[in-house]
């Protein structure tokens, strides 16, 4: 029986990215008649562990306190040991798209004698090998890779996969006492960026603005629209580079990769780098004065008009509907 493992960082909890990874693992395991095991790196609260056990066949918990502050070297050791404690014969090991998972994925593949792939938007088995799909050339093409060495260690695109449904009975929770080397890195300080609402990667609805807005002030108008529909705000790289909005709003190849239910692109032309960041959105609506803007080739709904004529009216109508 070929099982699938999903690595989750305990300090991050069972967030939307982890839910998607477990959902992908559940679907993959079902396709090969196996089980999905969640390997939890570091302590997690009881609620998160219970949520993972409700959707997995087994939870292997490495709750060592030194992993509360994630250290890449220790996290890598923990993943390797949890892999061995779980079953050791996984056909695939899946991770979400946080910075630590991205760092340890290729190194874990090397230690396990497997293959590694980054930013997968879709995965499936083809015989004994995993096929991983991702975009190429700045989102202009789709490439499919065959990972010939097992296990396939893959980190997945955020919100690109649906969460796993709860199972009729909860999976077993198996605590494992990990043997970790002392940390090689000493954390001397932290600077946490101010964050209101949910993370952009987890937002179900996003209102994004681009260079065509002309400055920082119009983003206040976009904020009214976002608040009306309970959305988070994003931006193109040009708007972030100009200093109009914070850097952590950036959506694109060098920013956040998002996959909301609805993505509203306002005064964004749709350069390939931006499309790469929001291309997995379920529904895209665009407002732009340029009828030939590339964004209109990638949206479900489009309005060729100045945002100043559309956004206030749209906000008013939506507010009336919600009121």
- pLDDT by residue for the chain (323 residues), tens only, comes to 689 999 999 988 898 889 999 999 999 999 999 999 999 999 999 999 999 999 999 999 999 998 988 888 999 999 999 999 987 789 999 999 888 898 999 999 999 999 999 989 899 999 889 999 988 776 678 899 999 999 999 999 877 788 999 988 889 999 999 999 888 877 788 776 666 667 888 889 999 999 999 999 999 999 999 999 999 999 999 999 999 999 999 999 888 888 899 999 999 999 988 988 888 888 999 999 999 999 999 999 999 999 999 999 999 999 988 76
Mark whether 267 and 154 lie in a shared domain: no
Q: Is residue 239 part of a domain?
A: yes
Residue-range definition of the domain harbouring residue 20: 3-175
**Distance separating alpha carbons of residues 105 and 116, to the nearest angstrom:** 7
β-strand partners of 136: 141
Q: Is residue 144 part of a domain?
A: yes
Mark whether 53 and 156 lie in a shared domain: yes
Q: Is residue 43 part of a domain?
A: yes
Total domains, the chain? 2
Task: Give the containing element (helix H, strand E) for 35.
Answer: none
Mark whether 217 and 313 lie in a shared domain: yes
Q: What is the Cα 228 distance to its own chain's centre?
A: 25
Torsion of CA 43, 7, 21, 112, to 10 degrees: 180
Mark whether 50 and 134 lie in a shared domain: yes
Q: Is residue 227 part of a domain?
A: yes
Q: Is residue 182 part of a domain?
A: no
**8 A C-beta contact, residue 183 and residue 71:** yes
**8 A C-beta contact, residue 205 and residue 258:** no
Domain CATH for 109: 3.40.50.620
Q: pTM, whole model, 2 decimals?
A: 0.80
Mark whether 132 and 263 lie in a shared domain: no
Last residue of a domain, one of 175, 192, 213: 175
């Amino acid at each position: 029986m070929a099982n699938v493992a999903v690595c989750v960082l305990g300090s991050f909890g069972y967030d939307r990215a982890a839910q998607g990874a477990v959902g992908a693992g559940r679907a993959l395991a079902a396709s090969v008649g196996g089980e999905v095991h969640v390997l939890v790196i570091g302590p997690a609260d009881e609620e998160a562990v219970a949520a993972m056990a409700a959707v997995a066949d087994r939870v292997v918990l490495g709750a060592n306190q030194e992993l509360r502050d994630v250290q890449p070297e220790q996290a890598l050791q923990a993943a390797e040991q949890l892999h061995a404690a779980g079953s050791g014969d996984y056909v695939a090991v899946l991770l979400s798209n946080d910075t630590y998972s991205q760092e340890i994925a290729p190194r874990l593949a090397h230690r396990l004698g497997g293959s590694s792939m980054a930013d997968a938007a879709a995965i499936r088995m083809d015989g004994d090998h995993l096929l991983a799909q991702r975009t190429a050339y700045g989102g202009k093409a789709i490439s499919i890779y065959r990972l010939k060495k097992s296990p396939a260690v893959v980190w997945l695109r955020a919100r690109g996969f649906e969460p796993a449904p709860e199972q009729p009975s909860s999976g077993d929770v198996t605590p494992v006492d990990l043997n970790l080397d002392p940390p090689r890195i000493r954390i001397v300080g932290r600077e946490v960026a101010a964050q209101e609402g949910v993370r952009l990667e987890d937002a179900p609805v996003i209102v994004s603005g681009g260079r065509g807005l002309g400055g920082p002030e119009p983003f206040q108008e976009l904020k009214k629209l976002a608040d009306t529909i309970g959305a988070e705000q994003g931006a193109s790289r040009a708007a972030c580079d100009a200093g109009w909005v914070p850097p952590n709003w950036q959506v694109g190849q060098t920013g956040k990769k998002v996959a909301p239910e609805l993505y509203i692109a306002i005064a964004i032309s749709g350069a390939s780098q931006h499309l790469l960041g929001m291309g997995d959105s379920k529904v895209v609506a665009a407002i732009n004065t340029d009828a030939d803007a590339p964004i209109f080739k990638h949206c479900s709904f489009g309005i060729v008009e100045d945002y100043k004529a559309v956004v206030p009216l749209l906000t008013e109508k939506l507010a009336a509907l919600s009121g």
